[in-house]
Amino acid sequence: MSEPTDFLLAVEALTVSFDGFKAVDDLSFYVDPGEIRVIIGPNGAGKTTALDLICGKTRATSGSIRFRGKELTDMKEHEIVHAGVGRKFQNPTIYEDLSVFENLEVSFPRGRSVFGALVFKRDAEVRERVAEIAEMIFLTDHLEDRAEYLSHGQKQWLEIGMLLIQDPELLMLDEPVAGMSGSERIKTAELLHKIIEGRSVIVIEHDMKFVEDIAHKVTVLHQGRVISEGSMAHVQADPKVVEVYLGH
């Protein structure tokens, strides 16, 4: 192993146990700046839990997560966001009662304290940034609509947009194309190719075609542990992976 500080994200010996059940067990992996890492694995492998641990939603039992050399395991959720980690949830998690514009505006990284939010001004910078992101996520024509009226795919894009406006250095996406129609999938792949420039991305995905298309490196989890890691070709050829996952 090279010097851990070279990595954008270094996860080492990470373990979390729920009443004795180890959802993530001695997990280690490293993400380089600008890398797209895809995590695959059968249901219950601990993929989502691993993301929960990184973003602070779940607290680790032991082990360490360092982001640009900073330990994340004892930071609060919003501090982890401020450090530059963004997280998209599996189900589209957006504010249904607000407009698309307001959804993006609330995610704009300024005025994050109580006082800051009170005096926050919707200035030209905010409008421009919102317009720019809306165009990327194909929602320019829907800015004034209440978010609850968007389609499932549009909601997924909106949440991705809400993360993009924060401009995180590490973006974590949990099944970004799940439940999308064929044409939406193609557009999402296009969107992801656009947004991964200049940042690292961790993606959980089941769609193998999609994974092959975007992944630099694939990590395969099974029962909370890494069983294989490397290029898609390497992983697909690994007999252990075939046995637990691809063979099914």
Partner 1 sequence: MTSMLNPLKKTELVGFLVVAAVILLILPAITDAFRLNMVGKYLTYAFVAVGLVLCWGSAGILSLGQGIFFGLGGYCMAMFLKLESSTPEATSIQSTPGIPDFMDWNQITELPWFWEPFHSLTFTMLAVILVPAILAFVIGFAMFTRRVGGVYFAIITQAIAAILTILIIGQQGYTGGVNGITDLRSLLGWDIRTDSAKTILYFVNAVLLLAVIALSLLVRHSKLGRILVALRDKEDRVRFSGYDVAAFKIFVFCFAAAISGIGGAMFTLQVGFMSPTFVGIVPSIEMVIFCAVGGRYSLIGAVYGTLLVNWGKTTFSESFPELWLFAMGALFIAVVMAFPNGLAGIWNSHVQPLVKRLSKRTGERQAAPAETPAAIAE
Residues at the contact surface with partner 1, assessed by CB under 8 A: 55, 57, 76-78, 81-82, 86-87, 89, 93-99, 101-103, 105-107, 109, 111-114, 117-120, 122, 143-144, 146, 159, 162, 166
In angstroms, give the least distance from the CB of 220 to partner 1.
26
In angstroms, give the least distance from the CB of 92 to partner 1.
10
Closer CB to partner 1, 89 or 216, in the complex: 89
Closer CB to partner 1, 142 or 222, in the complex: 142
In angstroms, give the least distance from the CB of 161 to partner 1.
12
Closer CB to partner 1, 105 or 184, in the complex: 105
Tokens for 156, please give them: 């997924």
In angstroms, give the least distance from the CB of 170 to partner 1.
13
Closer CB to partner 1, 7 or 101, in the complex: 101
